[in-house]
Chain A
Amino acid sequence: MSGAALELREVRGPSALGGGRRRALELLYLIAVTEFRRNYVGTALGYLWSLVRPLMLFGVLLVVFTQAFDLGDRVVNYPVLLLFNIVLFTFFQEATTQAVTSIVNQESVVRKTQFPRLVIPLAVVLTSLFNLGVNLVVVLCFLLFSGVSPMWTWLLFPVVLALLVVFTTAVAMILAALHPRFRDTGVIWGVAAMALFYATPVLYPIEVVGDALGDLLALNPLSPLFGLARKWVVDPGAPGPLAVADGWPQVVVPAVLFAAVCVLAVWIFNREAPRIAEEL
C-alpha cells in the first residue's frame, strides 16, 4: 500500500449512503438495470404483462366513466387523459408499494454487508421509472392516434415528471424506513394508496367535482402535478392548477405538504438507516 492510502479515516457506521456516493450510484444503477432487464428480457410476454394491469384498469374505468357518467363528453380527450393519468399514478403506486418491503426483502444484504441503505428504496423507484418510460411510449402512440397534435408544451412534461419522481422517492423512503420497525406499514399504506388514488384527479379532472370537494382535493400535493401534466400534454385548454385554485390555501398547502414530505423523508431515513440492520 502506498503511504497515502494509510491515512486513517473514521468509520462512521452504517448510513443512508455509507461507502461513498459513487459506489451508491453505481449500485443503484446496476440493481435497477438488472431488475428491469429481468422483467423485460428473457420472458417473451414480460412487457405485455406489465402493461396488462394499467390497460385493464383503463378499459374498465373508461367504460364506467364514459357510459355511467358523461365525463367523455365533458372532458376533452378523456380516454387519453385517463390512460395518461393511470400510467402516472401506477408509477407512484408501484414504486411506493414495492418500497415498503424492499429493505426487509434485502435482509441478508443489509445485515451482512456494508450496503448503502438508501440505494434499496431508490432502486425500486428507478425500476418503476423505467417501467413508466416504457408505458409512456404507449401513451404517446395513443395520444397521436387520437388526434392530439404535438405541442411545444410537451417539452415541459419532464418538469412534472421530475416533481413526481421526487415526491414518489420521498414517500418510498419514508415507507421503507418505517417498515422494519412497524410491520403493519404495508397494510396501512395499501389502504392509504387506494384512498389517494381517488383523492387525486386521476379519473376526473378537478374542475368537474364541484367547488367544495374540488377545493379539498386541490390540497393533495399530487393534484397540481396531475393538473399540470394534463394541461401541458393532453389539453392546453384545460384550467391549470392555479386556475382551479380558489384561494391561497389551494396554492400554498400542496407546496408545503410536498416540501414537508421531502424533509420528513430525509430526516426519517437518516435517523433509521444506522439502526435498520438491528431492527431486522
Chain B
Amino acid sequence: MPPSRPSRLHAPVVIEVRDLVKTFRIPSHRVDTLKERALHPLRRDAHRELRALRGVSFDVHDGEFFGIVGRNGSGKSTLLKIMSSIYGADAGRIRMAGRLAPFIELGVGFNPELTSRENVVLNGVMMGLGRREAQRRLDAVLDFAELRDYTDLKLKNYSSGMMVRLAFAVMVEADADIMLVDEVLAVGDASFAQKCMDVFHEKRRAGRTLVLVTHDMATVQSFCDRALLIHDGELRYLGDPEETAMRYYRLNFRGADGRAHEATTAGVPDVNARIVSARLEDEVGGTVESVEQGTPIRLEVVLEARQALEAPIFGIHVLDADGVTVFGFNRTLTPGPGEPERVPAGDRVRIVGTIENRLLPGRYFIHVYVARNRTQGDMALHLVRLLDFVVYGTRTGAGSVLVDADVEVSVEVAQPS
C-alpha cells in the first residue's frame, strides 16, 4: 500500500506541459543518400505520419512523484524525451523550474575505454553539475556504488552489475531537482534494488520531484502520488495511481476480441458432442477475454449432441496458469415436467450464467466436460482450455483467490504470572 502523503497539489508547479503535439514522419521510401537526392532533386520523401502526441497537457507539482503509464507505442516515451530536450515538440510548450536530469537508460554516455573516475566526472557534467562539483562528488558516487577499489579500472573490465551500480550512483549523486526516469528501477540484484528503493524514498523525503515512465503498475501504485495514463497520444486519465492502474489494465485487456481458441479434446474425440461456441461476455453481451477483478464471469457455451446424451452432466473447471484447478462445479439438465433427462442427437445445449469472481489478477483457463448417465466416469466430451481469460485488477494476495476474512490482530497485554 502506498504510504499516505499529504497531497502536493498545493505546491508550486515545477513542470508545466501544454498542448504538446509531436508527429513523426515515418519514411516509406527514405532518401538517405546525397547521391539519391542529387539524382532525384524533386522527389518528395514518401512517408506516413505517426501522431505520437496529440495535445497533451498536465502539471507536475514540486515534490511530487508522478507516474506516466501507457501501452507500448502510446507516446509515453516520446513525452519523456520531449521533456528531456531530446526531441523537439511540433506544437505546444513545456516550462520547468529547477535543474533537470533525465534517465532514459542507465549508463548512457559511459565510455568503456575510460576509467570509472573519468566516466563519473563526465557523466556528472552531462547531468548538469559543474566540473569541480562533479569531481567533488566522485567519492560519494564511488562509495554509493561500492566500487572504491576499482576507481582506476577501465569500464570495459567492469561486470554489468558493477556498471549498473555505478550508473545508478551517478544518478543519485547528480542530485537534480527534477528527475525524469524511464523504467530503470528494476536493475541489479535484490539488495541493490532495495537500495535503489531506499534512495527514491530518500529523494521523496528531500522534496525532489520525480517523473517515472513505466509499465509496472505495482511501482506506480506504491510510488506515485499521481499518475497519468496516455493512450494513442492522448491523455486518458490523470489522478489517483490506483485508478490509473485500473484503467491501464482495462485498456490492455479489453477490445482484443475474436481470437481463436486452441481448445483441445483430452482423450475423448468429439464423436458424442461437439462445441458450437464458447465465450465470455461483458454486461452488454459483447465478447471479452478479460474480466475485471471482482466482477462476475459471464459464460456462454453452446454444445451440439452428435449422439443422444442420456442423463448428462456438464462440468466446468477453472484452472490457473499453472494448470491447477482453482474451483469447479457441474450441472445437470433441467428438463420440463414429464420430459426425459436426455439430449437427442442433433439438439443443442446452451450453458449460460454468471460465476462469482474471487480470482486474483492473472491468466486462467476454463475446461468443460460432458459425462453421461450421471457418472463422471463415462466421459462424452472433455474440452481442455476451451476458454482462456485474464483477470485484471490491483488487489493482490497469495494463491489464486481473494476471500473475505473477518480476522483482527490485537495485542494481548501480558498478565503478571
- Chain A contacts to B: CB under 8 angstroms: 1, 5-14, 18-20, 22-23, 26-27, 29-31, 34, 38, 108-115, 178, 181-185, 188, 274-275, 277-278
Size bracket, chain B contacts: 35 or more
A277-B81 contact given A1-B62, A11-B95, CB 8 Å threshold: yes
Q: Which residues of A contact B109 (CB under 8 A)?
A: 108-109, 113, 115
A113, B32: Cβ atoms closer than 8 Å: no
Are the CB atoms of A5 and B97 closer together than 8 Å? yes
Contacts A11-B85, A13-B82, A184-B34 known; A113 to B102 CB distance under 8 Å? yes
Query: For B86, B96, B105, B109, which residue has the most chain A Cβ atoms within 10 angstroms?
Result: B86
Contacts of B207 in A (CB 8 A): 1
The stretch of B11-19, B280-288, B393-401 that contacts the partner chain: B11-19
Q: Specify which chain A residues have a CB less than 8 angstroms from the CB of B183 in the assembled complex.
A: none
Judged by DSSP, the binding face of A is helix
Q: Is B153 an interface residue (CB 8 A)?
A: no
CB of B162 closer than 8 Å to a CB of A: no
Asked, given contacts A1-B177, A113-B109, whether A181 binds B87 with beta carbons under 8 Å apart, the answer is no
Residues on A with beta carbons closer than 8 Å to the beta carbon of B83: 11
User: In the bound complex, what is the Cα–Cα distance between A11 and B85 (angstroms)?
Assistant: 7
5 A-B contact pairs sorted by A residue (CB < 8 Å): A1-B98, A26-B131, A27-B126, A114-B86, A181-B32
Interchain nearest-CB distance for B392 vs A (Å) = 32
Interface string of B99-131 (1 = CB under 8 A from A): 010101100110101100010011001101011
Cα(A275)–Cα(B88), bound, Å: 7
The residue on B at minimum CB distance from A5 is B98
Hey, which chain B residues are within 8 Å of A111, CB to CB? Answer: 86, 104
Q: Cβ of A113 and Cβ of B126 under 8 Å apart?
A: yes
Q: Which residues of A contact B95 (CB under 8 A)?
A: 8-11
Residue of A nearest to B85 (CB): A114
Min CB distance B104 to A, Å, is 4
What is the CA–CA distance of A18 and B85 in the complex, to the nearest angstrom?
Answer: 8
- Answer whether A114 and B84 are a contact pair too, CB < 8 Å, given A27-B126, A184-B34, A278-B24: yes
Compute how far the CA of A27 lies from the CA of B118 in the bound complex, rounded to whole angstroms: 12
Residue B93 lies at the interface, judged by CB distance under 8 Å to chain A:
yes
Please determine whether B118 and A8 come into contact, CB atoms closer than 8 angstroms.
no
A183 touches B32 (CB 8 A): yes
On whether the beta carbons of B34 and A19 are closer than 8 Å, the reply is no
B32 cross-chain contacts in A, Cβ below 8 A: 181-183
* Assembled-state Cα–Cα distance A46/B24 (Å): 45
**Does B311 reach chain A (CB closer than 8 Å)?**
no
The listed residue (A8, A13, A20, A38) touching B113 by CB distance below 8 A is A38
Q: Nearest CB to that of A10 among chain B residues?
A: B95
Once bound together, how far apart are the Cα atoms of A10 and B111, in whole Å? 31
B7-46 vs A, CB cutoff 8 Å, 1 = contact: the mask equals 0000011101000000010000000111101000000000
A5-B97, A26-B131, A182-B32 known; A31+B122 contact, CB < 8 A: yes
Known contacts A27-B125, A27-B126, A30-B131; is A12 also within 8 Å of B85 by CB? yes
- Which residues on the A side are within 8 Å of B131 (C-beta)? 26, 29-30
Q: For B33, give the chain A residue with the smallest CB separation.
A: A184
Does B275 touch A at the CB level, under 8 Å?
A: no
**Bound-state Cα–Cα, A108 to B112, Å:** 13
Bound: A270/B103 CA distance, A: 25
Q: How far is the CB of A159 from chain B (nearest CB, A)?
A: 30
Chain A residues contacting B97 (CB-CB under 8 Å) are 1, 5-9
B85 lies within 8 A of A188 (CB): no
Tell which of A13, A34, A108, A278 touches B85, judged by Cβ atoms closer than 8 Å.
A13
Q: How far is the CA of A110 from the CA of B96 in the complex (A)?
A: 21
Contacting residues of chain B (176-195) with chain A, CB-CB under 8 angstroms: 177
Q: How far is the CA of A185 from the CA of B163 in the complex (A)?
A: 35
Contacts known (A14-B85, A183-B33); A6 close to B62, Cβ less than 8 A = yes
By beta carbon, the residue of chain A nearest B95 is A8
Nearest neighbor of B122 in chain A, beta-carbon distance? A30
* Chain A minimum-CB-distance residue to B12: A6
> In whole angstroms, what is the CA distance A277 to B89 when docked?
12
Whether the pair B126, A108 counts as a contact (CB closer than 8 A) is: no
A51 to B171, CA, bound (A): 40
Residues from chain A with a CB closer than 8 A to the CB of B34 are 178, 182, 184-185, 188
User: What would 19 more interface pairs be, CB under 8 Å, given A14-B86, A274-B88?
Assistant: A6-B12, A6-B97, A6-B98, A8-B13, A11-B94, A13-B88, A14-B88, A19-B85, A19-B128, A30-B121, A108-B108, A108-B109, A109-B126, A112-B104, A113-B108, A114-B85, A114-B100, A115-B109, A275-B88
Specify which chain B residues have a CB less than 8 angstroms from the CB of A115 in the assembled complex: 109, 126
Asked if A13 contacts B122 (CB within 8 A), the reply is no
The smallest C-beta distance from A56 to any residue of chain B, in angstroms, reads 26
**Cα-based distance from A188 to B35 in the complex (angstroms):** 9
